[in-house]
Amino acid sequence: MRVVIEDVSKTYAAARERTVAALHGVSVAVESEEFVALLGPSGCGKSTLLNIIAGLLAPTSGAVHFEGERRAGQPPTAMVFQEFALFPWRTVQKNVEFGLEELGVDGERRAREARRLIDLTGLDGFEAKYPHELSGGMRQRVGIARALAVDPAVLLMDEPFSALDAQTRQLMQEELLGIWERTRKTIVYVTHNIQEAVYMADRVIVLSRRPGRVLEEVRIPLARPRVESMMAEPVFAQAAERIWMLIKAQARDAIRA
């Protein structure tokens, strides 16, 4: 599924009749099966843009279009949030089944699909566990499985690993890349981490400080599947350095302002 973000702007109403411009004139095309990372300074509108793509927020102007065939009952998007956002009273199995319940899928098919995704995300054997019985990494795997259960055309991820320790974060990056290799979902991924963006994405869209606009699209010329040793390649360092220079220039502009 191809995603076309066309001249999207978003302005919020603030106190005393003031307004805050979060995004201005953002235009990006995300190709089918592409993994695209959104990155920029804090407050640049990355999460706002993701919520607009998800249909959770309406743009003040512009539009988002989805291009390509979609199966009946398949939602255009599903979101994996920064917070784990699981239902504490539901087991792993029942959390993964939730979206399918909302779509009216019968119990047998729900259970079968949930078990497939539990296996895909490395949760086999934990079906009957509750969220409080799981580690942070495992809880986020449940969130990913729940999002995949509805078979979205586009998977949206809002800093899904930011709350994890460094080792778990690296492991989850590897897990997600493996899932992408097997499912080939179109993914739009928000992160603050430059190395994470370069390691995982086909392209990194760098946004300016608020109001967010597209500064540059940095293509990542690394082969797939990605492996950790690629972080030592010159093209990895060059892409990370280019992105850092863009972000640093934005920070300097903010200080001068």
Q: Write out pLDDT tens, residues 156-188.
A: 999 988 888 888 889 889 989 999 999 999 999
Give the per-residue pLDDT at 72: 67
In a domain, 172, yes or no: no
The alpha carbons of the chain give a radius of gyration, in whole angstroms, of: 19
For the whole model, what pTM was predicted? 0.90
Structure confidence at residue 236 (pLDDT)? 97
Domain count, the chain: 1
Is residue 100 situated within a structural domain? no
Which CATH number does the domain housing residue 17 bear?
3.40.50
Q: Quick check: is 21 in a domain?
A: yes
**Which residue, among 92, 140, 100, has the nearest Cα to 118 in the 3D structure?**
92
| Residue 48 lies inside a defined structural domain of this protein | yes
Query: What's residue 129's pLDDT?
Result: 95
pLDDT of residue 194: 96
In a domain, 106, yes or no: no
In a domain, 18, yes or no: yes
Q: Could you please report the per-residue DSSP string of the chain?
A: -EEEEEEEEEEEE-GGG-EEEEEEEEEEEE-TT-EEEEE-STTSSHHHHHHHHHTSS--SEEEEEEES---TT--SEEEE-SS----TTS-HHHHHHHHHHHTT--HHHHHHHHHHHHHHTT-TT-TT--GGGS-HHHHHHHHHHHHHHT--SEEEEESTTTTS-HHHHHHHHHHHHHHHHHH--EEEEE-S-HHHHHHH-SEEEEEPSSSB-EEEEEE----SS--GGGGGSHHHHHHHHHHHHHHHHHHHHHHH-
**Domain limits at 236?**
2-74+193-256
**Residue 196 pLDDT exceeds 90:** yes
pLDDT, tens digit (0-9, with 9 covering 90-100), for 12-47: 887 776 888 999 999 999 999 999 999 998 888 999
The answer to whether position 29 is within a domain reads yes
What is the Cα–Cα distance from 192 to 47, expressed in whole angstroms? Answer: 11
Question: Above pLDDT 70, what percent of the chain?
Answer: 95
Asked if residue 19 is part of any domain, the answer here is yes
